[in-house]
């Protein structure tokens, strides 16, 4: 009656999923739409940075050799022959004993090779005096000192964050080549499921996994198609899954992957001729998570319980999507933190626990049974406890996966 | 000639900004559009969770008292009178010696108070036998055990993450009350600035701060108006700033806040009758960052250099926006990490250094001068070194502000 499935380690499950990723191709988007996309071309410097020798201060550009011998007793005088702000180019060629008043960011005028800061001068308007000699190139930002033309700056496969956008803008990328996004479908299975707008009925609960996954996708900047809810009837379910899989690159189902009498996904995968990558993972919650591939498309069979569903998405779906987009960094950022309270349960399998991480310590987000809605409502991290371990004590250093730091902290502590 | 400004500590600057926040009001959005918004109503449980006593396993529901005395030598037999999956309600009332085949998530049938898992039975189809007694409520998820109806779950002011969406769905929030988003304008000042699509010209550079801030806002889910570039002429600049401020809740300018000859923002703020919250902060880069308030609207005068501009946004603009939206958690998440290389410079002011954080250690993102484009391209964190300190050695524990973990890690390490 009970089908026997052999659990595989989480790392192996992740590996099997990643290997099946097929590239989605690329598209061009306007720079203003590029935030959050995966860069699909290497970004190179199209010019030196700075593009010319420029002044890093407000002051006066001079010929350094004219400052030789200056001292408090022997101040050197310079005639101010021009005045330029950033963006302006002086048309003068500076001669002996001359200076140009210059603002931060402006290019050094012809003939000059040093900048005297305002506070290093006595300024009479038409002329200045200085009391110390300046070296050639003193107080000058040299052309190319930050970056040489042609230098590789950002690799293809990088996430485009605000800093990346700044660099793209600097080098004139009005359009950016980025990875296409996958078409993702969500299908929540189970006759017990009501839509969010329906009143509660005996024996039923509202579908929370569908909207949750939609939000998990939204966090990655990816929209999705939802296929409503399939009834627990094999033929009808098969047709819905088949049609949905044809329209999508990735079809995520929730529920129906266990060994219950109405868990039709295993039979559906078989009928689709899908290759099952695994149907049992040595993890809690979510050991029944099943991933299959049919016609080059992913079929993610996530557990119907919310915590398991959530974790299954972050562990398996997220890196698969990133891999399809050619991203370099596929996995949730990991850190370590001090456990803020005892976690007494033994861990026959690797255990993932919803938790609140404050930057130093981490606390399980309350009641963490598979069905617990309350723990899902809190937490910004997953504690990972290795399989084969007994309970952990407060104060232990544990592994933590960060789930996104969209939410910050409530107190300024620096 | 050089105006003297008194620097204030970063924490005080942040405090002054926050205090001026005016609430933006609320609006209702569909659940599917709620990810990333700030919740503007407390979320309460509209029913118990679970809403009924339910089976956490696939198995058989029985009356526990009928199992008394069961043993390997004295197996108890139960007649299977019904079969229900999740979402179905049995119409039977279970009598002595009867059982109902029940799937995970289904409500316990009338009369039953315990669940026997499949693997604890010998199943002949029409009947089962068991070899041990079960206690009342054994293997039953009790109504309300996760959450009681009316319980407060999530406070107003919380960020709506995917877990929050799951809870909203569970409790039937098809529409959610969220904070309105501010209307934000960006105005990059400076005659040296070219648009991203323009070819490079002598003495000029492309505007990278505008697109960068646009992306920093996009990371917060906020769109903006851009006011192109103002010329370095006081009257014209004043008119542009005045018009932009009238159309926005927050106007962010970049450049023009220093004491250079063409730095018009101080004069513009004065002409607007704005209250200057500060015009000098004891920080590097970005000490000239100026924040003012006019007619209840924020005027953020960020430095024109990219690193300072970036940091100024994250330190001052971000919490101001969050505060206007009633958010509870205003500040960048903070952690501590081991410095991966020496940082030799002394720090007269608090220093913010773009850095790459890998969960355990943190490395300055290369050349970190104010104008350095290359350091902006890398890094997912800011190292914070307190003012008044000398250089730091590799291995020192330093404070780190996390800038968003959209990008993960390249290796699976668990």
Element (H, E) at A157: none
CB-CB: which of B104, B123, B373 is closest to A147?
B373
Residue A398: closest C-alpha in chain B? B414
Q: Which pair of structure tokens corresponds to residue B12?
A: 């005080």
Question: Per residue in B337-363, pLDDT tens?
Answer: 999 999 988 989 999 999 988 888 999
Q: Please give the residue of chain B at the shortest CA–CA distance from A196.
A: B172
Which residues in chain B are contacts of A256 at CB distance < 8 A?
none
The chain A residue lying nearest B354, using CA atoms, is: A163
Partner residue opposite A408 with nearest CB, options B331, B359, B406: B331
Q: How far is B361 from chain A (nearest CA, A)?
A: 9
CATH architecture for residues A334-402: Beta Barrel (2.40)
Q: Please state the rounded mean pLDDT for residues A174-193.
A: 94
Question: Residue A189's pLDDT band (boundaries 50, 70, 90)?
Answer: confident
Verify whether the Cβ–Cβ distance A374 to B14 is below 8 Å. Answer: no
Of all residues in chain B, the percent with pLDDT exceeding 70 is 94
Cα–Cα distance between B414 and A392 in angstroms, integer?
17
Report the pLDDT value the prediction gives residue B233, as an integer from 0 to 100.
77
Query: What is the C-alpha to C-alpha distance for residues B185 and B226, in angstroms, rounded to an integer?
Result: 6
Q: Is the pLDDT of residue B27 over 70?
A: yes
Q: What is the DSSP string of A18-66?
A: HHT-----EEEEEGGG-TTSBB-S-EE-SS-BSSS-B-SSSEEEE-GGG
CA distance B38 to B44: 16
Residue A1 pLDDT grade (very low, low, confident, very high; cuts 50, 70, 90): very low
Q: What is the model's pLDDT at position B322?
A: 93
pLDDT beyond 60 at B172:
yes
pLDDT of A259 = 75
A172/B200 Cβ within 8 A: yes
- Kindly write down the DSSP assignment for every residue of A312-381, as one continuous string: HIIIIIHHHHHHHTT-S--B--EEEEEESS-B---BSSEEEEEEEE-SSEEEE-S---TT-HHHHHS-SE
Sheet containing strand A59-62, edge to edge, reads A114-117, A59-62, A98-102, A76-84, A127-130, A121-123
pLDDT for B377: 77
Put simply, the answer to whether A408 touches B167 (Cβ < 8 Å) is no
Instruction: Give A292-337 pLDDT, tens digit per residue.
Output: 999 999 999 999 888 999 999 999 999 999 999 999 889 888 889 9
Q: How confident is the model at residue A230 (pLDDT cuts 50, 70, 90)?
A: low
Of B68 and B358, which is predicted with more confidence?
Answer: B68
Nearest CB to B414 within list A11, A204, A216: A11
DSSP B39-58: B-S-EE-SS-BSSS-B-SSS
CATH architecture of B10-24+181-324: 3-Layer(aba) Sandwich (3.40)
Check CB contact under 8 Å for A412 and B15: yes
Q: What is the CATH class of B26-48+150-179?
A: alpha beta
Residue A153 has a pLDDT of: 87
ipTM > 0.90, yes or no = yes
Fold annotation for A26-49+148-179: Molybdopterin biosynthesis moea protein, domain 2 (3.90.105)
Contact state of B198 with A414 under an 8 Å Cβ cutoff: no
Residue in chain B lying closest to A15 (CA): B412
Between chain A and chain B, how many beta carbons pairs sit less than 8 Å apart? 403
Contact call for B119 and A2, based on CB within 8 A: yes
Pick among A36, A169, A257, A335 to test the B interface (most B CBs inside 10 A): A169
Residue A202 has pLDDT above 70, yes or no: yes
Position B1 scores a pLDDT of 39
* Interface touch B161/A399, C-beta < 8 Å: no
Least confident segment among A125-129, A178-182, B211-215, B401-405: B401-405
Q: What is the pLDDT of residue A329?
A: 87
DSSP conformation letters of A171-188: TT-SEEEEEPPPPEEEEE
Mutate to test the interface with A, among B407, B410, B411 (most CBs of A within 10 A): B407
Report chain B residues whose CB lies below 8 A from the CB of A211.
31-32, 165-166, 168-169
Q: Which residues of A touch B372 (CB under 8 A)?
A: 146
CA atoms of B115 and B61, how far apart (whole Å):
4
| Pick from A161, A374, A414: CB nearest B407 | A161
Q: Which residues does chain B have within 8 Å of residue A409's beta carbon, measured at their own beta carbons?
A: 329-334
The pLDDT, as a whole number, for residue B2 is 46
Q: Per the CB < 8 Å rule, is B377 touching A166? A: yes
Parallel, antiparallel or unpaired: strands A290-294 and A283-284: unpaired
| B153 to A35: CB separation less than 8 angstroms, yes or no | no
Split at pLDDT 50, 70, 90, the class of A256 is confident
CB A224 within 8 A of CB A185: yes
**Residue B36: its chain A contacts at CB < 8 A?**
218-219, 406
Segment A177-185 shows an average pLDDT of: 97
Instruction: Kindly determine whether residue A31 and residue B211, on different chains, have CB atoms separated by under 8 Å.
Output: yes
pLDDT > 90 fraction of chain A, expressed in percent and rounded: 74
Greatest pairwise CA separation for chain A in angstroms: 102
Asked whether residue B299 carries a pLDDT value surpassing 90, the answer given is: yes
pLDDT the model gives residue B258: 79
Decide if B329 and A410 are in contact by the 8 Å CB cutoff. Answer: yes
Contact yes or no for A408 and B380 at CB 8 A = no
In the CATH scheme, what is the homologous superfamily, with its name and number, of domain B59-130? Molybdopterin biosynthesis moea protein, domain 3. (2.170.190.11)
The average confidence (pLDDT) of chain B is 91
pLDDT level of residue A359 (50, 70, 90 thresholds): confident
Chain B contacts of A225, Cβ < 8 Å?
A: none
* Residue B297, min C-alpha distance to chain A (Å): 23
In this predicted structure, the answer to whether residue A405 has a pLDDT above a threshold of 60 is: no
Question: In chain B, whose CA is at the least distance from the CA of A373?
Answer: B167
Whether residues A190 and B87 touch (CB distance < 8 A) is answered with: yes
Q: Which of B233, B133, B254 is nearest to B185 (CA)?
A: B254
Query: Of residues B2 and B207, which shows the higher confidence score?
Result: B207
- CATH 3.40.980.10 maps onto chain A at 10-24+181-324
| CA-based nearest residue in chain B for residue A323 | B410
Mean pLDDT, residues B99-123 taken together = 96
Contacts of B384 (CB under 8 A, 6+ apart): A414, B350, B351, B352, B353, B398, B399, B400, B401
Confidence band of B130 (pLDDT split at 50, 70, 90): very high
Smallest CA–CA distance from B352 into chain A, residue: A414
Least confident of A369-373, B133-137, B215-219: A369-373
Confidence of residue A3 (pLDDT cuts 50, 70, 90): low
> Where are the domain boundaries for CATH 2.170.190.11 in chain B?
59-130
Q: Check CB contact under 8 Å for B107 and A210.
A: no
Nearest by CB: A359 against B43, B106, B335: B335
Name the helix (H) or strand (E) containing B351.
strand B350-357
Give CATH 3.90.105.10 domain extents, chain A: 26-49+148-179
Alpha-carbon distance of A177 to B264, in angstroms, equals 38
Contact A334, B186 (CB under 8 A): no
* pLDDT exceeds 50 at position B368: no
Determine whether the interchain pair B169/A208 forms a contact, defined as Cβ–Cβ distance below 8 Å.
Answer: yes
- Which chain A residue's Cα is nearest to B165? A212
The pLDDT, as a whole number, for residue A261 is 77
Distance CA A109, CA B320 (A): 42
Question: What band does B229 get if pLDDT is binned at 50, 70 and 90?
Answer: low
SS3 sequence of A140-152: CECCCCCECCCCE
Comparing alpha-carbon positions, the chain B residue that sits nearest to A108 is B203
- Whether A368 shows a pLDDT value over 50: the answer reads no
Closest approach of B298 to chain A, Cα-based (Å): 20
Q: State mean pLDDT over B381-410.
A: 84
3 state DSSP class of B17: helix
pLDDT for res A232: 66
Q: In Å, how far is A136's CA from the nearest CA of chain B?
A: 20
Is residue B406 helix, strand or coil? coil
The whole-number average pLDDT for the span B377-382 is 84
CA B46 to chain centre: 25
pLDDT band at B165 (very low <50, low <70, confident <90, very high): very high
Which among A167, A196, A198 is the nearest to B377, CB-wise? A167
Within 8 A of B286 by CB-CB distance, chain A residues are: none
Which residues on A lie below 8 Å from B359 (Cβ)?
333-336, 402
**Mean pLDDT value across residues A363-386:** 76
Confidence (pLDDT) at A408? 53
Q: Kindly report, residue by residue over A32-77, the tens digit of the pLDDT.
A: 999 999 999 999 999 999 999 999 999 999 999 999 999 999 999 9
Report, in angstroms and rounded to the nearest whole number, the Rg of chain B calculated over CA atoms: 31
For B384, nearest residue in chain A (alpha carbons): A414
Residue B103 corresponds to which tokens in the numbers above?
């799937």
Does the pLDDT at position A26 exceed 60? yes
């Amino acid at each position: 009656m009970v089908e026997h499935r052999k659990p595989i380690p989480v790392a192996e499950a992740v590996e099997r999923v990643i290997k099946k990723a097929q590239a989605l191709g690329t598209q061009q988007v306007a720079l203003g739409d590029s935030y959050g996309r995966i860069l699909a071309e290497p970004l190179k410097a199209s010019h030196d940075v700075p593009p010319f020798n420029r002044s890093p201060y407000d002051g006066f550009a001079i010929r350094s050799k004219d400052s030789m011998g200056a001292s408090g007793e022997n101040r050197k005088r310079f005639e101010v022959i021009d005045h330029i702000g950033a963006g302006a180019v002086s048309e003068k060629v500076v001669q002996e004993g001359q200076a140009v008043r210059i603002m931060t960011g402006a290019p050094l005028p012809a003939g000059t090779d040093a900048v005297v800061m305002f506070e290093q001068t006595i300024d009479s308007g038409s002329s200045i005096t200085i009391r110390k000699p300046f070296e050639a190139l003193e107080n000058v930002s040299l052309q190319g000192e930050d970056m040489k033309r042609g230098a590789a700056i950002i690799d293809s496969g990088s996430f485009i964050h605000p800093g990346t956008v700044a660099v793209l803008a600097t080098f004139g990328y009005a359009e950016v080549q980025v990875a296409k996004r996958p078409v993702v479908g969500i299908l929540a299975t189970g006759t017990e499921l009501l839509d969010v707008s329906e009143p509660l009925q005996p024996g039923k609960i509202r579908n929370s996994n569908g909207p949750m996954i939609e939000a998990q996708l939204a966090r990655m900047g990816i929209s999705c198609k939802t296929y409503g809810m399939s009834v627990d009837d094999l033929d009808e379910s098969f047709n819905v899954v088949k049609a949905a899989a044809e329209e999508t690159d990735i079809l995520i189902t929730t529920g129906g992957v266990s060994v219950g009498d109405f868990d039709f996904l295993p039979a559906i995968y078989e009928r689709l001729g899908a290759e099952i990558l695994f149907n049992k993972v040595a993890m809690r919650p979510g050991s029944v998570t099943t991933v299959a591939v049919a016609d080059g498309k992913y079929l993610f069979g996530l557990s119907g319980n919310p915590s398991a569903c959530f974790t299954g998405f972050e562990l398996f779906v997220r890196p698969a999507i990133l891999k399809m987009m050619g991203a370099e960094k596929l996995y949730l950022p990991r850190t370590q933190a001090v456990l803020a309270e005892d976690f007494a349960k033994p861990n026959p399998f690797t255990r993932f626990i919803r938790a609140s991480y404050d930057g130093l310590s981490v606390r399980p987000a309350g009641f963490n049974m598979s069905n617990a809605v309350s723990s899902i409502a809190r937490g910004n991290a997953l504690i990972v406890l290795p399989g084969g371990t007994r309970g952990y004590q407060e104060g232990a250093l544990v592994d933590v996966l960060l789930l996104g730091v969209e939410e910050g902290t409530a107190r300024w502590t620096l």
